[in-house]
Chain A
Amino acid sequence: MTRFIFRRALLALSVVMTVMALAFVLTRLSGDLAISIAGPGSTQADVEVIRKAYGLDRPVLVQFFDWTRLALTGDFGNSFFFKDKVSNLIGQRMPVTFTLGFTGLAVALVISLPLGILAALNENTWIDRLVSLLVMVGQAMPSFWLGLILMIVFGLQLGWLPISGTGSWQHFVMPAIVLAFTAVPALTRLMRSGMIEALGSDYIRTARAKGLSRSSIIFKHALRNAAIPVVSIAAVQLGFMLGGSIVIETVFALHGVGYLAWESISKNDFPVVQAVVLVLASIYIGLTLVSDILNALLDPRLRGA
């Protein structure tokens, strides 16, 4: 088990390093950073000053190792636009994104687990088909579109919920629901198929032959096995949600890391862009690692490996 975790952690670390290199290279591919920072109408002399001031005149490899070295200590440099340390900016925005991500995942699980179980218990009946239909509709709905619909109905027409900003918990309700919808189809389907497989298995026949009650058979024996893939996919989904909150945070002007990413991309604030990409990617990679470990912890057959 420790060896398994060690191997996975090493793998995760190498992926993070790759992401660092990519984040660095991609921001530099978007053009001459000194020119874009200087902005239109600036003179050649201005650009040269900026190039020197930001250290962009040094060889690229030197810049990269410099950035990497500082990034590993948590220092991502200063934002060009906000006149603050990048790490502070991300630190301030992170709680919002985490709140959104975890709430979104919780909502997604609360919706998809019972739906998946319900569909599995009523396999091939109208209930099952109705659930499949809902899942399909959910999947076909783009999240910005769902966000706008919710805003119009609950924000503007009914006036129940605020449509933008970060002031109170009410601000998180609609974004969390929209975010949850991105995970509900996959989780529901996984829960359903896992449950159907478990319910048809030989050990469930044994459990029934033991005279166990229906609830013990469903919730103790079948769910325990059906939940293993769901739990690990949920961790991966959380990574998606944290990374993918860019669209939703932008739609709802929720001041999280996703919103920060959008702002800094549009303002060429490349230290922030680099750092956000790296942080979100690391979280995603970390959660994938957590998913693997959870999977192994839940499945006794993998625990010994």
Chain B
Amino acid sequence: MTAILDVQNLAVRFGPTLAVRNASFTVQKGETHCIVGESGCGKSVTALAIMNLLARNARRDAKSIAFAGQDILAYSDRQMEDVRGNRMAMIFQEPMTSLNPSYTIGSQMTEVLRRHHNTTRDLAEQRAIGLMQRVGITAPQMRLGQYPHQLSGGLRQRVMIAMALMCDPELLIADEPTTALDVTVQAQILRLLAELKQELGLGILLITHDLGIVARVADHVSVMYAGEVIETGRTADLFANPSHPYTRGLIDCVPVPGKIKPGEALGSIPGTVPVMKDGFSGCAFRFRCPQASEICTQAVPRHEVGPNHLVQCHLPSRQGGAQ
């Protein structure tokens, strides 16, 4: 297997606030890699940092961000423009507002192909129609001439997906693409993404706060907490052997049929995610961690608890390896 995206020690700050501190993870070709975590833990900022789309007041730092083997950290704005929308595409949480209200669907879809590839309007429209069909949009010919406000949220998200595929990207970053949609549409969109991954050999970085989605679609998971990736591994390993107290807490929050006895309370993690400022050291989870101890105020080591299964916590060293 080859990595399409390899992020090493990504850090993003907004002034004194550290939105992302120490994020490392790898997305393989033809795989769905989920980033999961509570609201505000830095998932969107991580995605935007990879695309180099952060707000002007953000500062991005990393050891490396390798895309298809190239370190895009050093890319100029112009070089990055050529990659975005072309080899690396992104869809967003807000399908209702992510399309320009003043231009037709056709104009917005063909624009991205014509920006990156030398092609005629007709050919671009043909491709748009084909992709719209592929993502389950009926009457694509008619949709080309329609404006976003004439489409439902689910359709708009499908348009966003089709548009993201126009240039046949190698990596698709999807930031909570189904959060704003109702449950049935959500399931359809997730199934579609899974099929596309198979068909096109696409690497997908899927951001979500929903462990249920992770369990359904992810090959790999990275759990984020307060700007850090605190555990990453294959989905099966991570669910079978959650090694970070936070991951375990998250999994306990999800009602699993058969595992929960009727009447038994669901687990929940008391407290909230702290905002990280300069000068913080030790484990950010220690204020909520049931297993916290003295040593947790010190720099936290990263352990390999299984093949490709990394966890950032003092526990494994205290207990002498995997538990």
Say yes or no: A225 contacts B53, CB within 8 Å: no
Say yes or no: A212 contacts B85, CB within 8 Å: yes
Q: Any chain B CB within 8 A of the CB of A301?
A: yes
Partner of A206, one of B100, B102, B115, B149: B100
Contacts of A145 in B (CB 8 A): none
Restricting to B51-103, which residues have a CB under 8 Å from any CB of A? Answer: 51, 53, 80-86, 89-90, 92, 94, 97-103
| Contact pattern, A 206-218, Cβ under 8 Å of B = 1, otherwise 0 | 1111111100100
Give the total of B residues in contact with A, Cβ under 8 Å.
29
* Cα distance A203–B116 in the bound complex, in angstroms: 19
Say yes or no: B84 contacts A211, CB within 8 Å: yes
Say yes or no: B111 contacts A210, CB within 8 Å: yes
Say yes or no: B116 contacts A211, CB within 8 Å: yes
User: From DSSP, what is the main secondary structure of chain B's interface residues?
Assistant: mixed
- What is the minimal beta-carbon distance from A34 to any residue of chain B, in angstroms? 59
The verdict on A209 contacting B90 (CB below 8 Å), with A221-B100, A299-B101, A299-B102 known, is yes
Contacts of A300 in B (CB 8 A): 101-102, 147, 149
Q: Any chain A CB within 8 A of the CB of B112?
A: yes
Say yes or no: A206 contacts B53, CB within 8 Å: no
Restricting to A223-270, which residues have a CB under 8 Å from any CB of B? Answer: 224-225, 228
Which residue of B has the minimal Cβ distance to A206? B98
Which residue of A has the minimal Cβ distance to B48? A205
Partner of B115, one of A203, A212, A221, A304: A212
Say yes or no: B101 contacts A206, CB within 8 Å: no
| Contact pattern, B 257-272, Cβ under 8 Å of A = 1, otherwise 0 | 0000000000000000
Say yes or no: B102 contacts A208, CB within 8 Å: no
Contacts of A304 in B (CB 8 A): 150
Contacts of B92 in A (CB 8 A): 202, 205-206, 209
- What is the minimal beta-carbon distance from A218 to any residue of chain B, in angstroms? 13
Contacts of B103 in A (CB 8 A): 221, 224
User: From DSSP, what is the main secondary structure of chain A's interface residues?
Assistant: helix
The verdict on A211 contacting B98 (CB below 8 Å), with A202-B92, A205-B92, A301-B149 known, is no
Contacts of B149 in A (CB 8 A): 300-301
* Cα distance A225–B100 in the bound complex, in angstroms: 8
Contacts of A212 in B (CB 8 A): 81, 85, 111-112, 115
Say yes or no: A211 contacts B97, CB within 8 Å: no
Say yes or no: B101 contacts A211, CB within 8 Å: no
- What is the minimal beta-carbon distance from B304 to any residue of chain A, in angstroms? 34
Q: Any chain B CB within 8 A of the CB of A201?
A: yes
Partner of B85, one of A210, A224, A299: A210
Partner of B53, one of A208, A216, A224, A298: A208
Restricting to B111-169, which residues have a CB under 8 Å from any CB of A? Answer: 111-112, 115-116, 147, 149-150, 160, 163
Say yes or no: A208 contacts B100, CB within 8 Å: no
Contacts of B53 in A (CB 8 A): 205, 208-209
The verdict on A205 contacting B98 (CB below 8 Å), with A212-B85, A213-B81 known, is yes
Say yes or no: B115 contacts A202, CB within 8 Å: no
Which residue of A has the minimal Cβ distance to B93? A202
Restricting to A85-139, which residues have a CB under 8 Å from any CB of B? Answer: none
* Cα distance A17–B100 in the bound complex, in angstroms: 41
Say yes or no: B89 contacts A209, CB within 8 Å: yes
Which residue of A has the minimal Cβ distance to B166? A210
Contacts of B147 in A (CB 8 A): 300-301
* Cα distance A127–B80 in the bound complex, in angstroms: 28
Contacts of B80 in A (CB 8 A): 211
Partner of A203, one of B81, B84, B98: B98
Restricting to A24-54, which residues have a CB under 8 Å from any CB of B? Answer: none
- What is the minimal beta-carbon distance from B186 to any residue of chain A, in angstroms? 19
Known: A202-B97, A203-B98, A300-B102; 11 extra A-B contacts, CB below 8 A, are A202-B94, A203-B100, A205-B53, A208-B84, A212-B112, A213-B81, A224-B100, A224-B103, A298-B102, A301-B101, A304-B150
By Cβ-Cβ distance, the 10 closest A-B pairs, closest first, are A210-B85, A211-B85, A211-B84, A202-B97, A300-B147, A203-B100, A210-B112, A209-B90, A211-B81, A224-B102
